[in-house]
Amino acid sequence: MSLLEFKNVSYISNNKSILKDISVGIDCGDFISVVGPSGSGKSTLFRLCCQLISPSNGNIFYKEIPYTEFDPIELRRQVAYCFQIPSLFESTVMDNLKFPFSIRNKRVDSTIIKKLLEDFKMDSEYLPRSINNLSGGESQRISLIRTLIFPPKILLLDEVTSALDEKNTFIVENIIKSLNEEGITILWITHNSEQSKRYANKILSIENGKLKSLEVIK
């Protein structure tokens, strides 16, 4: 049984065909690198995965249930998307890390926040910092930490190490690897050929909006 399945999915925007007749199954525990040229439809695929957009044709299933039967907000708590260009809001880092608790009407657990900061080799001194004073790499890591406060079932990562130096890329890669080993299904977009093969068990290749291949490598 596929955890997430696309059946003959196409997506058209402004009379332009972005994705064309995509059929693919993603199994629980997969670590899939999504590769292909810029503009091939990779990010559109991710937006479809978490119901930020709806397919023009075809069907998407999560746990064999049609996407249309899920509340989009509840679905996105299980299928979470980290963008290449992070979207931080309000004023401070703490504002962002409190957000996952507030939307669930839960008390902020500072222990979880502290642990995640430590995992990413950051510390509590970041919490009062203005989001306007963060580097691109710091913003990427804070966005990922915010997503992981309540771990999803499927984690979609869109070039989340693109602004990181080698040291911090290694830290983030190892965290993602550990999450996968704990049972979280990972899909990540990368243009780094070496990175695409380092941890993934499958490589999904998209070109010109079409599924070129799904290669099992482990």
**What is the pLDDT averaged over residues 74-88?**
92
pLDDT band at 175 (very low <50, low <70, confident <90, very high): very high
> What is the extent of the structural domain holding 35?
4-90+153-216
Question: 159 in a domain, yes or no?
Answer: yes
Least confident of 22-36, 80-94, 144-158: 80-94
Question: 133 in a domain, yes or no?
Answer: no
Q: How far is it, in rounded angstroms, from Cα 166 to Cα 160?
A: 13
Question: 30 in a domain, yes or no?
Answer: yes
Say which CATH number the domain at 158 has: 3.40.50.300
Question: 117 in a domain, yes or no?
Answer: no
Question: 50 in a domain, yes or no?
Answer: yes
- Say whether pLDDT at 84 is over 90: no
Question: 47 in a domain, yes or no?
Answer: yes
Residue 173 pLDDT: 94
pLDDT tens, position by position, 136-172: 999 999 999 999 999 999 999 999 998 889 999 999 9
Q: How far is it, in rounded angstroms, from Cα 32 to Cα 166?
A: 21
Domain total in the chain: 1
Is this model's pTM higher than 0.85 or not?
yes
**Chain-wide mean pLDDT for the chain?**
94
Question: 146 in a domain, yes or no?
Answer: no
| Residue 23 near residue 7 (C-beta atoms within 8 A) | yes
Sign of CA dihedral 180, 185, 189, 194: positive
pLDDT tens, position by position, 59-79: 999 999 999 999 999 999 999
Question: 116 in a domain, yes or no?
Answer: no
- Say whether pLDDT at 218 is over 80: no
- Say whether pLDDT at 1 is over 80: no
